[in-house]
Structure 1
Amino acid sequence: MTDNPHHLATPSGKPRARSLAIAFDGTPGPFNAITDVAGVAVGYATLISGDGPLVVGEGPVRTGVTAILPRPRPELATPVFAGVFSQNGNGELTGTHIIEETGAFNFPITITNTHSCGVTRDGTLRWMQRELPAAIDSAWGLPVAAETYDGFLNDINGHHVGFEHVAQALDGAGSGAIEEGSVGGGTGMITFGFKAGSGTASRIVAWQGRAYTVGAFVQSNFGKRHNFTIRGLRVESELTEPAIREATLRAEKGSIIAIIATDAPFLPHQMKRLARRVPLGVAMTGGFGYHSSGDIFLAFSTANPAAALAPSGRIANADFIPDVDIDPFFDAVIQTVEESILNALVANEDMTGRDGNFVPALPKAWLKDRFG
């Protein structure tokens, strides 16, 4: 049976992992993306310019912003039940304190490079003031903003991400098929010594005659080549080349941010349980949470909007799937995270950045020979 064309390539025609006959567990949604969760949208601003020696403030620039809207634009002030989990805290995801306290957050999510995380957080507040001023005119906002490090390829200290790029990513956020690879916040990212960045996948989970969706989005920037694993195959001996070429010493500064979305009705403690399963999907590819890696994960549910907005003075009611039935959703998280990481690697090309530092793409010919 021919796979869904959206599962095989991105909108611009970049290959996805399934196009190379890599087999995965579970049933993907129509776009095999986090946007299969109704109401969730993704947008990018991608900044690529300049070549040659690093001149701080001028470039070369290899960075960007990713925006994820957890609800349709008019409903962004409505909280979503959520949970967070940090496998290794050498990184940042803002808004975690209120999520831990209340089990919810609102407003869009942004992901960018380490030194622009504050800009995207503040840019989200500016954008919300423009789009939904009533939501923050007499209240406060604590947006979720996350980061991974792109300084091997990008002029990270040049602070090239501005409020206008945050607005571009938020304004351009859409549903359906989305781009992957070196786009948005993932533009300058590296995984297992190969070019990586933004990746996504989804799964359909059946429960009591209903079909629910679990979607993942990753900004993938972690891992050592000798641990790299594709569907259980340890590939170190077969993929020592092509290798990174560095004019500037490359310190180990990898991280992964993963966002899990679902339309299944779960309570905040259950969303935290889903977030705790993300590291298992990362480990399926050979990510082991090393010291310098910021491995931080957020899961949210779009269900129960009325309960999330419950007014004072009334009993609030929320639906939820019992904990004893949660295992298939754990499977879906692990499966989507694994595939998202591999999609970020496959939907990519070689990149040269600051000082001529070079990161190769995962070789497509080798993948076809090995898995085709």
Structure 2
Amino acid sequence: MSGVRPGPRELGVVVGGLPTGTANAITDVAGVRVGHTTLHEGERLHTGVTAVVPDALGARPGQRRTLPCGMFVGNGFGKLVGATQLEQLGAIETPIVLTATLSAFRAADALVTHVLAWPGYEEVRSLNPVVGETNDGYLSDIRARPITEADVLAALDGATDGPVAQGCVGAGAGTSALGYKGGVGTSSRRVEVAGETRTVGALVQSNFSGTLTVRGVPLPAAELLEPSAAPAAHPDGNSCMIVVATDTPLDARRLERVARRAVLAMGRVGSDFAHGSGDYGLAFTTAGPDVPLVPDDGLDPLFAAAMDAVEEALLASVFTATTTVGHRGTRHELPHDRALERLRAAGAVARD
């Protein structure tokens, strides 16, 4: 694997006209942090953990124990731990952890350990951990279930604000997307909603099939990669986890509508929404409980911001990923030079 690669925006590929936050990451939503634990062990293991941590939850005494959250299931071929209570109650009470399919259950147990250690939780006897997953079994020995409690706690305890590492890190270490190496991607937008400037951030774990499409321009792996590198088969699993955060005051019903747009944004980048795909969108707000909610007829700018942020995050997960030789094969990075050649010819790259 090579070093850090630029994302789409650094290469002149700009999604939409809204401004980004300072870091162009989900952490631009105040009080949201991200942590990664990444495991690379030769060709056998490429896996990890990514944690999205809202500080407004009860990590400190006197803070709230839940945040409003909406969920949309594009296709339910997945193992989203905590989904039914999330759907029924419309709230999260833990950080959101992403990892590999067969490690999701150990990750959930570790997340419970983490939250039960928070001050004021000494008498808590019920907790709904939220853990999403995609299957990295093509590039990583998923049956080994290498993720430990220590790995999950490290991602949670090490979560920071500011810039977020992307590509082959954390839960994206062993994923594939749209014929190329996939990974973790993130982006944000600033937008006027009901007369207030709000922030919307997205983080994705991409691992799904289709034809990479950038601003309407198809970039098929079979055409951009060398013949020997073109993917001969889909990797195991075919999924995407999307987490959207905002400081906009919304209830769970409205947040479900945001989460729905997040999954729909997968179509913009070329997802084929295959039968075996587990496509989930989660959207939560950090806004205080006493702030008046944005009415339904004021949501359009927020929907646009969410779709643009998710689209860019999905593209970033592929643009920043690096070629990875894995457990059962290799997934190659998107060749920037060939991609930009096509994008420039189509007028899809911003001028300097």
TM-score, reference length from structure 2: 0.90
CA contact (8 A) 1:83 1:268 kept: yes
- Alpha carbons of structure 1 residues 106 and 138: separation in structure 2 relative to 1, 3 Å: closer
Residue 138 of structure 2 aligns with which residue? 152
Residue 257 of structure 1 aligns with which residue? 241
Which residue identity lines up with residue 120 of structure 1 in the other structure? A
Q: 1:349 aligns with which of 319, 322, 327?
A: 322
Listed as ranges, the matches of 1:205-216 within 5 Å are 205-216=191-202
| Cα separation, 2, equivalents of 1:78 and 1:237 | 45
CA drift at 1:245: 5.3
CA drift at 1:71: 2.1
Residue 324 of structure 1 aligns with which residue? 297
CA drift at 1:13: 5.0
Structure 2 residue 150 is the aligned partner of structure 1 residue 164: yes
- Alpha carbons of structure 1 residues 268 and 171: separation in structure 2 relative to 1, 3 Å: same
CA contact (8 A) 2:224 2:335 kept: no
Listed as ranges, the matches of 1:46-125 within 5 Å are 46-51=38-43, 60-71=44-55, 73-74=59-60, 78-125=65-112
1:58-81, CA deviations, whole angstroms, 9 ceiling, x for partnerless residues? xx1110000110225427752111
| Cα separation, 2, equivalents of 1:327 and 1:250 | 36
Listed as ranges, the matches of 1:220-259 within 5 Å are 220-224=206-210, 227-236=211-220, 239-242=223-226, 250-251=234-235, 253-259=237-243
Residue 283 of structure 1 aligns with which residue? 267
3-state SS of paired residue (2:306): helix
Structure 1: which 4+ aligned runs deviate by more than 6 Å? 246-249
- Alpha carbons of structure 1 residues 318 and 168: separation in structure 2 relative to 1, 3 Å: same
Residue 31 of structure 1 aligns with which residue? 23
Which residue identity lines up with residue 166 of structure 2 in the other structure? E
CA drift at 1:166: 0.3
| Cα separation, 2, equivalents of 1:245 and 1:153 | 15
Identical amino acids, percent of aligned pairs: 34
CA contact (8 A) 1:194 1:361 kept: yes
CA drift at 1:249: 6.7
CA contact (8 A) 1:154 1:354 kept: yes
CA contact (8 A) 1:77 1:107 kept: no
Structure 2 residue 127 is the aligned partner of structure 1 residue 135: no
Residue 11 of structure 2 aligns with which residue? 20
| Cα separation, 2, equivalents of 1:94 and 1:165 | 18
Q: How many residues align?
A: 338
CA drift at 1:171: 1.0
| Cα separation, 2, equivalents of 1:138 and 1:179 | 34
| Cα separation, 2, equivalents of 1:200 and 1:108 | 17
CA drift at 1:151: 0.5
Cα RMSD (Å): 2.2
3-state SS of paired residue (1:287): coil
| Cα separation, 1, equivalents of 2:273 and 2:232 | 24
3-state SS of paired residue (2:60): helix
1:254-283, CA deviations, whole angstroms, 9 ceiling, x for partnerless residues? 100000100000111000110111122100
CA contact (8 A) 1:186 1:197 kept: yes
CA drift at 1:105: 1.3
Deviates more, 1:66-75 or 1:237-246: 237-246
CA contact (8 A) 1:252 1:292 kept: no
1:169-190, CA deviations, whole angstroms, 9 ceiling, x for partnerless residues? 0111000001000000110000
CA contact (8 A) 1:43 1:68 kept: yes
- Alpha carbons of structure 1 residues 291 and 237: separation in structure 2 relative to 1, 3 Å: closer
Residue 358 of structure 1 aligns with which residue? 330
Which residue identity lines up with residue 50 of structure 1 in the other structure? G
1:73-121, CA deviations, whole angstroms, 9 ceiling, x for partnerless residues? 4277521111101010001222222222221111111000000001111
| Cα separation, 1, equivalents of 2:209 and 2:227 | 14
Q: Any gaps of 5 or more consecutive residues in structure 1? A: 1-11, 52-59, 308-316
3-state SS of paired residue (1:134): coil
Which residue identity lines up with residue 255 of structure 2 in the other structure? M
CA drift at 1:208: 4.4
- Alpha carbons of structure 1 residues 243 and 74: separation in structure 2 relative to 1, 3 Å: farther
CA contact (8 A) 1:229 1:235 kept: yes
3-state SS of paired residue (1:271): helix
Residue 33 of structure 2 aligns with which residue? 41
CA contact (8 A) 1:243 1:360 kept: no
3-state SS of paired residue (1:47): strand
1:114-161, CA deviations, whole angstroms, 9 ceiling, x for partnerless residues? 00001111101111233x052253332111001000000000001110
Which residue identity lines up with residue 144 of structure 1 in the other structure? V
| Cα separation, 2, equivalents of 1:302 and 1:143 | 18
- Alpha carbons of structure 1 residues 237 and 276: separation in structure 2 relative to 1, 3 Å: closer
CA contact (8 A) 1:149 1:221 kept: yes
| Cα separation, 2, equivalents of 1:96 and 1:339 | 26
